[in-house]
Amino acid sequence: MRKVGALKWAAGRWDSFGLPFLVALLLLVFSLLSSPFRSVYNLVSNLSFASLVAIGSIGMVFCIMSGDFDISIGSMSALAGVLGASMVARIGGPAAMLVTVALATLCGFVNGVFVTKLRIPAFITTLGMQFVYRALAYIYTTNTPVYIKDPFWLSIGSGSVLGIPFPVVLMVLCFGAAVYVLRKTPFGRYVIAVGTNRNAAMLSGINVDLVKNAVFTLVGFFVGIATVVTASYLGSVNPGMTGQGYEFQVITVVVLGGTALSGGNGNLLGAFFAALFITYMQNGLGLKQVNSYWQYVATGMVLIFAVGINRLKSAILGQRET
Amino acid sequence: MIRFLKLYEKFGIFIFIFAGAVFLAFATPNFLKLDTILNIIAQGSYAAVVGYGMTLAVTSGGFDLSVESVMALTSVFLAILIPVIGIPLAIVASLLVAAFVGMLNGLIISKLKVNPLITTLSMMTIIKGVALLCAGGKMIVILQKQFMSIGTGKLLGIPIPIYIMVVFFGIFYLVLYRSSFGRHVAAVGSNENAVRISGVNVDVVKIGVYVLVALTSGVASVVRTSQALIGMPSMSPGFVLVALTVTILGGTSLTGGRGNLWGTLLAAVFISMIYYGLNLINVQIFYQMLSVGLVLMLALFIEGLRLRYLKAAKAKGIKV
């Protein structure tokens, strides 16, 4: 019995302490293995890189929590990015950045309308939109990258506040706001209710379609912010390359972070630590000169492994998980 | 309305094909020639073959996003193995590799109970990595020119891919509608628990489905690789969208339980007609992507409408 008790104790604390522990372990192992890895510069700059996935994952936590997926976010990022970046010359950097975020938010809203009005599983609807957005990005730019020369936009990725890189500050702010919305506002409760039992939520007077639509809009909003930061790092937006595989990274991070695929149960801080884990893992493997193709294999396996861990946890705690 | 939607499920795709054919006949000078028509059908053969597999998966209530990675892996294996063990053995071996990936998908979905989206999305990434690793990140040129006859040869004036498309249609028709396995697939799609309770081994059914999807991807890849004579580790990105589009446009219900194989075949030909038309007016290749995406959204719109009316009819007590 004591053994079962210990397992239950560990499983119950996995969400809060399991991932930070894994991240610490990973940092320790790679620090011992590789001297460039343990330099402060490398650790800090990868913390900034982690924000690209982490910020995008916030909306997806809400989305998966409400019981749906959005797999169009990579293309959404490319479309909003090329349109926003091409407007720098006309309306200036800051306004163009706002346009980028607004366009991504609009794409998210459009996804929400399709998902709620069609009542087709969201992953299929958003799979279709993935190709529509990507094709529009190609057509708008005739497949040429859009370069960003605006100093303000470029400073987003490289700037810092009190020695902390700006992307990290932005990431912390976004997570703070999201945690507040999830825990302290009626909207957060509605999302949980819709994800746990859609019919019960509807019968108790929640406007399910409105909540779902808001969730998809949120996905777009956070993808927009992540796009602005990514574009600032790269100095350009490429209609074909930008956001390629982004949906996969983000879903991996969200699931590894402990958000249940069955809905109703989200873990924002888990997604944050999972983003750190994935980013440092790729950084470490890269520094150890592991062929970059292995990283596809590693990331894919981490996702299946993450689902496995969540199932194991639920089984030990006696919860239902599908 | 319900009668219309039921008719649409069976014959809707004919309307699309007919409208497309009329448009092309007026808009282009060469459409009404046998060669052109055969070419269009042959071009639709890969989508049709992978579509059969996808139809089976959607009928079972799942689907498979890893098809394009499996195609890439098969293509790479063909290019590596043909010089070593000859063409026939290389085809068999690469198809076995494809089937093995399908089995992994099936095992993870049925035994570990991971949902099909996550499983096949992960498998897509893993297999893409494996294909790139096997090929060393490069395209591999196949020097054996005889291999080309599979994709470009003709028999009695008809391109060989059309025969492959028809033969696999026959096989899948028998599997889906005339075998106990096919009935189990449909039953799993409509009510998995009921099937499990009635003593059918659901896990075996699911593994069988994903093996068959992977096999169809492998076959499509053999045809494509033979046309290009190149083993491509990044073959046909976005092909999964085409496979899903032809399945849904063909009238296979996303709620599972009912597959429409005829519809899939015809929808593949329809998509091929769109490509032909777009090629003629010389637009950029991205418009093909856009058009397939839009056709999928249209098909989903009609499917959504259908589901809604069926629900309303049930609520009113009308028999459907």
pLDDT range class, residue B320, cuts 50, 70, 90: low
How many CB atoms within 10 Å of residue A104? 32
pLDDT tens track for B57-99: 999 888 888 998 999 999 999 899 888 888 889 899 999 999 9
Q: Do A131 and B286 touch (CB under 8 A)?
A: no
- Token representation of residue B127: 């297999």
Could you tell me if residue A258 is inside a domain? Answer: yes
| Inside any domain, residue A118 | yes
A241 touches chain B (CB under 8 A): no
> How do residues B219-261 score in pLDDT, each as one tens digit?
999 998 888 888 888 776 778 888 888 888 888 877 777 888 8
Q: Chain B: nearest CA to A86, how far in angstroms?
A: 19
> Does the beta carbon of A204 lie under 8 angstroms from any beta carbon of chain B?
no
List the single best residue of A131, A132, A244, A322 to mutate versus B (max B Cβ within 10 A). Answer: A131
Q: Is A290 within 8 Å of chain B by CB? A: no
The distance of B64 to chain A (nearest Cα, Å) reads: 11
- Residue A177 included in any domain: yes
Q: What number of CA atoms fall less than 13 Å from residue B315's CA on the CB side?
A: 6
- Give the distance from residue B69's alpha carbon to the nearest chain A alpha carbon, in angstroms: 12
Question: Is residue A11 a part of any domain in this protein?
Answer: no
Residue A4 lies in a domain: no
Task: Please count the structural domains in chain A.
Answer: 1
- The answer to whether B292 contacts chain A (CB < 8 Å) is yes
The residue with greater pLDDT, A262 or A73, is: A73
Strand partners, A147: A236
Strand-pair partners of A98: none
Show the tokens assigned to A287: 């520094």
> Residues B80, B83, B89, B91: what is their CA dihedral angle, to the nearest 10 degrees?
50
Residue B304 touches partner A, C-beta closer than 8 Å? yes
**Which two three-digit tokens encode residue B316?**
């009113």
- Is A169 part of a structural domain of the chain? yes
Strand partners, B140: B231
Q: What is the CA radius of gyration of chain B?
A: 20
The partner residue sitting opposite A120, judged by closest CB among B117, B119, B300, is B300
A41 in contact with chain B, both atoms CB, cutoff 8 A: no
Q: Do A127 and B118 touch (CB under 8 A)?
A: no
Structural domain spans, chain B: 48-239
Say what angle helices A2-13 and A292-317 make with each other, to 10 degrees.
130
| Cβ–Cβ contact A317 with B under 8 A | no
Task: Report if residue A166 sits inside a domain.
Answer: yes
Higher pLDDT, A40 or A168: A168
Banded model confidence at residue A322, pLDDT cuts 50, 70, 90: very low
Give the mutation candidate from B117, B292, B298 for the A interface (greatest A CB count, under 10 A). B117
Higher pLDDT, A306 or B50: B50
Instruction: Give the whole-angstrom CA distance, residue B320 versus residue B311.
Output: 10
pLDDT tens for each residue of A131-157: 899 989 988 988 888 998 888 888 888
| Range of the structural domain that residue A179 is part of | 20-27+35-317
Q: Write the CA distances from A214 to A115, A191, A207, B45, integer angstroms.
A: 11, 9, 11, 41
Q: Is B158 in CB contact (< 8 Å) with chain A?
A: no
The alpha carbon of residue B298 is apart from the nearest alpha carbon of chain A, in Å, by: 10
Range scoring the smallest mean pLDDT among A98-112, A158-172, B1-15, B186-200: B1-15
Greatest mean pLDDT range, A104-113, A234-243, B226-235: A104-113
CATH of the domain at A285: 1.10.3470
Instruction: Pick B126's closest partner by Cβ from A69, A114, A296.
Output: A296
Residue A183 resides in a domain = yes
Instruction: Tell me how long chain B is.
Output: 320
Residue in chain B closest to A296 (alpha carbons) equals B129
Provide the pLDDT for residue B111: 83
Rounded Cα–Cα distance for residues B252 and B262 (Å): 10
Q: Is the pLDDT of residue B314 over 80?
A: no
Using DSSP, state whether A240 is helix, strand or coil: coil
Is the pTM above the cut of 0.80?
Answer: yes
* ipTM of the complex as predicted: 0.80
